[in-house]
Amino acid sequence: MWLKKEEGVPSKTPQKALSLLMRWCAIAERAESDAKAKLRDWQMSEEDSQKIIAFLVRENFLNNERFLKSYVHDKVKLNRWGHLKIEYMLKLKGFKSLEIRKALQSLPSEAYEEALLHVLKTKFVSIKQKKTLAPQQKIALLVYARSRGFSQQLAFSLVDRVMGGKKD
């Protein structure tokens, strides 16, 4: 692909870098920090990088609020991550807690619970096959839910529902 690090790109001009970043941002939502990292990888000067980022923001190729909402939605729906894991990953990208919380609040709680329920049901099937005792199964499900970034309180309530076989 045209944006890989391996291609050796220190010879990129600011115009070429801008063109590549515009195409890259048009494909999917991107964070400003990701675009800045690309420019650093391409050994673009700080001055040129700032101008490029400013242009991308002004022309709405980069929009952190839009990126955050998209990231949260995709990670819950597709990866079935909990808010703790999402928050951690976004902090690694340099986002502030307030911005992250706002994006997390935009997600309906039903979608969040549905993601955890799916994760727990899938894991419960594999745990049941090992013929372990119910308390061990419950502990395994709780540990798994936590490893996926879900809150302990929500995990407790849904683990009981999954193990009890209650209908949704």
Instruction: Render pLDDT for 32-77 as a digit per residue (tens, 0 to 9).
Output: 999 999 999 999 999 999 999 999 999 999 999 999 999 999 999 9
Provide the residue ranges of all domains of the chain, joining segments of one domain with +.
5-58, 64-105, 109-164
**How many other C-beta atoms can be found within 10 angstroms of the C-beta atom of residue 83?**
21
DSSP category for residue 2: T
Rounded CA Rg of the chain: 21
90 token code pair? 């976004």
Task: Answer whether 163's CB lies under 8 Å from 134's CB.
Answer: yes
DSSP category for residue 61: S
**Distance of alpha carbon 37 from alpha carbon 23, whole angstroms:** 16
Spell out the residues 6+ positions from residue 111 whose beta carbon is closer than 8 angstroms to its own: 76, 77
Instruction: Render pLDDT for 84-100 as a digit per residue (tens, 0 to 9).
Output: 999 999 999 999 999 99
- pTM as predicted: 0.82
